[in-house]
Amino acid sequence: MLPIVPVPQRRLDDYREAAGPDAVERLRKAAAPLTGAKVLHVNSTAFGGGVAELLFAQVPLMNDLGIETVWQVIEGAEDFFTVTKFAHNGLQGAEVPWTPEMEAIYLDRCRSNAQGVAEGFDYMIIHDPQPAGILGALEEQGRRTGKWIWRCHIDLSAPHVPVLNFFSRQVAGYDGAVFTMEEFAPPSLRGPRLFVIPPSIDPLSLKNVYIDHETVYEVLTRYGVDRSRPILTQVSRFDPWKDPLGVIDAYRLARKEVPGLQLLLIGSMAHDDPEGWHYLEVTEAYRQGDPDIFLLSNLHEVGNLEVNAFQRASAVVVQKSLREGFGLVVSEAMWKEVPVVGGDVGGIRLQIEDGVTGFLVTSVEACAERVVQILGDPELRSKMGRAGRERVAERFLTLRELQDYVGMLSAL
């Protein structure tokens, strides 16, 4: 049996204040026809990524709605996760090597994981490329039951064709496929019924719940960050698509105009991302020993509370991605009334209304310019912060995504 991830108990009524009573009642009404249904989520890791964050909120709330929901994670060796990292990069557009040997490693591990998938569920929601091949393995064994949904959290709008062709075959038999944006779905994908569901943040998670100034100050002090000087922060995996080197370049340009500026690059090292360890070393070398650039991660005991504190202490948050499925950290910062300068790509465009809730940029120079502009205009910073929180409250909280999910399940 694949490992089952334990999740904390959550009650839908706890969200009345953050999301509003109307959102709670709309979700209850939408979910009522699914009472007693059984849902299984499968992904590749229980920590270190946006998918895990989403499931920690959604699985207990689905159970509170009367939908019996379980979350399993697949198991894989280093060679498997190396292949799936190539697949991830290839699906986002990188021209990666892709060979029959890599396909064999992937399919062999999917067959092995298929043996441990729990049975007796009405709906199976499979997240991202890593476990996508499990359905085909079960069909080989004559064990397919229920409805199967592939939830793709990445941008497939300009993929490396050999990788897309392989994964199109893996998901052709699914009943549904979910993308963050309509344009993320490749036209060549045939078979599943398409659904568009943007992700969301959990306003009651330790990363997003309100914390007082004393707690923020204690966290800054613990990590040697000077609260009297402005802070620029990016929270993301150490990954070339997140462009941490470009963030450092933008920081260095901005610091010429804002002496004393500090940069926090905060990541989470996940076991399913072997490339992350290498890119952390690359970023550390690029930092060149600058004492005002902080590279922090779960290796330094940085968890959700610390990320919350760092985001609240920031004058500006950046998410200078070159490709981005969504970027939950954008909504996290906006929820905390911190303006965001983000790459003009993918799901970041859904969140940032350019010039209203933050700025969209396409270069290092533009990123630095917008950071300096926000730092130099307290009124703009305050106005953008309020507008950002309102946008997240309307569009990007957990209950809205759950309502989209139950609507999809009902439609299937």
Residues 334 and 355 sit within 8 Å (Cβ to Cβ):
no
Sheet of strand 340-343, all strands in order from the earlier edge strand to the far edge = 293-297, 262-267, 231-235, 316-319, 340-343, 358-361
d(C-alpha 349, C-alpha 369), whole Å: 19
Quick one: 224 and 158 in the same domain? no
Quick one: 240 and 373 in the same domain? yes
Antiparallel, parallel or unpaired: β 147-151 and 176-179: parallel
pLDDT at 173: 97
Quick one: 237 and 123 in the same domain? no
pLDDT at 274: 67
Please report the sign of the dihedral spanned by the C-alpha atoms of residue 177, residue 183, residue 186, residue 188.
positive
Q: Kindly state whether residue 1 falls inside one of the protein's structural domains.
A: no
Q: Quick one: tokens of 63?
A: 């159970």
Burial class (CB in 10 A: 0-12, 13-18, 19+), 280: buried
What pTM was estimated for this model as a whole?
Answer: 0.91
Quick one: 375 and 254 in the same domain? yes
Q: What residue numbers bound the domain in which 153 lies?
A: 12-200+397-411
Q: Structurally, how many domains does the chain consist of?
A: 2
Quick one: 235 and 257 in the same domain? yes
Q: Kindly state whether residue 207 falls inside one of the protein's structural domains.
A: no
pLDDT digits (tens, 9 = 90+) for 291-350: 999 999 888 899 999 999 999 999 999 999 999 989 999 999 999 999 999 999 999 999
- The owner of tokens 């990069």 is 89
Q: Kindly state whether residue 6 falls inside one of the protein's structural domains.
A: no
Taking residue 97's Cβ as centre, other Cβ atoms within 10 Å add up to: 11
Quick one: 103 and 44 in the same domain? yes
Return the CATH number at 366: 3.40.50.2000
Q: Which helix (H) or strand (E) holds 279?
A: helix 274-287
Quick one: 65 and 151 in the same domain? yes
pLDDT at 211: 97
Q: Kindly state whether residue 3 falls inside one of the protein's structural domains.
A: no
Q: What residues contact 213, with CB distance under 8 A and at least 6 apart?
A: none
Q: Kindly state whether residue 248 falls inside one of the protein's structural domains.
A: yes
DSSP structural state of residue 125: E
Q: Kindly state whether residue 7 falls inside one of the protein's structural domains.
A: no
DSSP structural state of residue 4: B
d(C-alpha 320, C-alpha 313), whole Å: 19
pLDDT at 270: 65
Quick one: 173 and 193 in the same domain? yes
d(C-alpha 6, C-alpha 70), whole Å: 9
Which residues of the chain register pLDDT less than 50? Answer: none
Quick one: 102 and 228 in the same domain? no
Determine phi and psi for 126, rounding to 5 degrees.
-105, 125
d(C-alpha 208, C-alpha 18), whole Å: 11
Q: Kindly state whether residue 2 falls inside one of the protein's structural domains.
A: no
Quick one: 330 and 349 in the same domain? yes
Q: Kindly state whether residue 208 falls inside one of the protein's structural domains.
A: no
pLDDT at 64: 97
Burial class (CB in 10 A: 0-12, 13-18, 19+), 100: exposed
Q: What residues contact 274, with CB distance under 8 A and at least 6 apart?
A: 78, 81, 82, 85
Quick one: 155 and 222 in the same domain? no
Quick one: 117 and 234 in the same domain? no
